[in-house]
Amino acid sequence: MAAITYLEAGRRALAEEMRRDPSVWAVGEDLGRGGVFGQYKSLADEFGPARISDAPISEACIMGASVGAAMSGTRPVVEMRFSDFALCAVDELVNQAAKARYMFGGQTKVPLVVRQPMGMWRSSAAQHSQSLEAWYVHIPGLVVVAPATPADNLGLLKSAIRCDDPVVYLEHKNLWTLEGEVPEDEHLTPLGVAETVREGRDVTLVTWSAQRWACLEAAETLSAEGIEAEVIDLRTLWPWDRDRVLASVEKTGRLLVVQEAVSVAGFGAEIAASVAEALHKRLAAPVKRLGAPRVPVSYAPPLEARVRVTAEAIVAAAREQITPAAA
């Protein structure tokens, strides 16, 4: 095992897959200079401009060309710089990439990975801070992945590149510098398999991406109060590990779904509904969601802080699951 950052793990994953498979290549703005966050640093030196390809400032062009390249037999890794910018290419992704395999009766596939740095990151304001995972989970044909650790950013990106369907790959900007142990040998994390990162008996916290760490912090606070929370990191949002979540909630009788995204119509609602439908007779408390309010993210740090889902907010919501507030 070696300690590396989340950013370095993603860079290593891409390099390993490009060495393994000559059909893998990357395209996006400023990749030759290392990418906006440095996640492609030095890769152009090894693989050259044909495989680490700089593109014009046109997300629609980048995505459209990549869809065609994927259908023609290559495996593009498409860099969108910010998940917000990918909205300029949503037609190519949603109406073309996601549907081509089905509409052509399986005669073609679209094995591309769309890397979309997501989430709130130090006063990036309303146009650079969004968490839009629910948009993509809603679209048949797309796989949606949201790693939270360096090891998963390595293992899930490698699995995503090998997947024969289009993958929306959401890396949280606030995790780039996070360090963690990563296997030095070949490491793959399977798609669709969640991780139980903390065992508990009283309440299940289901989350993904950067909120994994807020949930673990909250679980430690709750443990000091005698409340043992089980924490599940979904890792893959579609397909999501329904069986693991149901088994946990059947044990604890309580579910709190925690997301950074706006709570209204967020992916947490799908998990909540699925659990409520499957286990409604066994729940000790109503299913609860915790997410951001339906407001834009402000540039001003005090206002930005008001919409963050914090460990303190998770603790308060979990306490209410154990001891509901008086009506």
| Count of other CB atoms within 10 angstroms of residue 158 | 21
Q: What are the beta bridge partners of residue 203? A: 229
d(CA 291, CA 258): 6
Q: Residue 13 belongs to what H/E stretch?
A: helix 6-20
Catalytic (active site) residue 138? no
d(CA 78, CA 81): 9
Locate 315 and state its tokens: 């603790």
d(CA 47, CA 238): 31
d(CA 215, CA 313): 10
Q: Which of 128, 138, 172, 187 is catalytic?
A: 128
Look at the alpha carbons of 87, 169, 139, 73 in this order and tell me if their dihedral is positive or negative: positive
Q: DSSP letters of 63-119?
A: HHHHHHHHHTT-EEEEE-SSTTGGGGGHIIIIIIIHHHHHHTTTS-----EEE--BS
Which residue from 16, 28, 23 is spatially nearest to 116, judged by alpha carbons?
28
Between CA 179 and CA 188, with CA 185 as vertex, the angle to 5 degrees is 80
Which residue from 276, 132, 144, 268 is spatially nearest to 206, judged by alpha carbons?
268
As annotated, the active-site residues are 128
